[in-house]
Structure 1
């Protein structure tokens, strides 16, 4: 989380500076999840390689070269699949991180983005391809996006009632009612009085 994101969450610039100075640049959870998945995948590959080595010990000398070729092909395929999965995870995380705070549902909006045209830098940040898609998506499905700034409307209506004091002092309804009755000269009858 950086200074701009902290300010967007409602902190003042001074508070955001203090947080960044105290903790430095924070790593987003999506980046941590990405690294945890990478470690799990690497551990699985190590386990697979150990099994392959055990199988190699059982192979006879004549079939050894064929088995080695087979395993090399399988390892290359596994490596390509791993790299593709890693790239897909990085793209997904980068897109969701870029969409955070801009859309109501980052998962839904991310599913509408073509990740094939998006490019990432070495740190996993989106460099190009996303902004154009976001503009198109915002035009066609604007309900997904959080409004950037609410515009203040000038409310128009009737003029509030003025007090009988000519606009001076505070309004005292009880005193005004008593004055009105005194001006009439008689107390109201209890005939239509719901409290009488």
Structure 2
């Protein structure tokens, strides 16, 4: 959200400052969640690396024993499946987080819109932000499901006009309002009758 957009709507400066501060908090919350996610990701990667090392050690110890070798193979298969599931879930979480951050302020419900986006077409940069594949899908959704998006407000304020000034024949400034009032009064008065005793 840009300050110029709010100024264009005719919102006063103090309200704009409040809105921008609140918007800043929302963005910071999203950034902090993304940082937390990145930290958790690094911890999980370290756990996976430790687990890989433990498996290698176990494999060495299992050599020469059929029973241990069989258990090792079973454990390795289970571990590889868990690792694959984890990596799939991790990629999905990273994509969802990046999409929600990119959609913040543009849609009414970021979770709902994120669910409608084909994540296989999305690419993330090293910074974890969406670099490709989102804009095209957003345009398509704006056409087919425009109700999901926060409308971009255009300045439709009628600012009116200032009538050109000037002076009357007596040299005084012309007062348009007074002119209308005088005209209205003249129309409501009864015509003068020369024979009217009250006139």
Which TM-score applies when normalising by structure 1? Answer: 0.55
Residue 31 (str. 1) matches residue 37 (str. 2):
no
Q: CA deviation at 1:39?
A: 6.7
Higher relative contact order (CA 8 A, sep 6+): 2
Q: Distance in 2 between matches of 1:84 and 1:103?
A: 26
Q: Which residue of 2 aligns with 1:90?
A: 94
Alignment of 1:1-196 (within 5 A): 10=16, 28-35=31-38, 37-38=40-41, 61-154=65-158, 168=175
* More displaced 10-residue stretch of structure 1: 127-136 or 112-121: 112-121
| Runs of 4+ displaced beyond 6 Å | 4-9, 42-47
Aligned equivalents of 2:2 and 2:175: distance in 1? Answer: 49
The answer for the alignment partner of 1:22 in structure 2 is none
RMSD across aligned positions (CA): 4.7
Structure 1 gap ranges (5+): 20-24, 157-164, 177-182, 185-196
Deviation readout 1:5-32 (Å, 9 max, x if unpaired): 7988955xxx99xx9xxxxx99713313
1:162 corresponds to which residue? none
Q: CA deviation at 1:154?
A: 3.9
TM-score by length of 2: 0.55
CA distance in 2, matches of 1:64, 1:94: 44
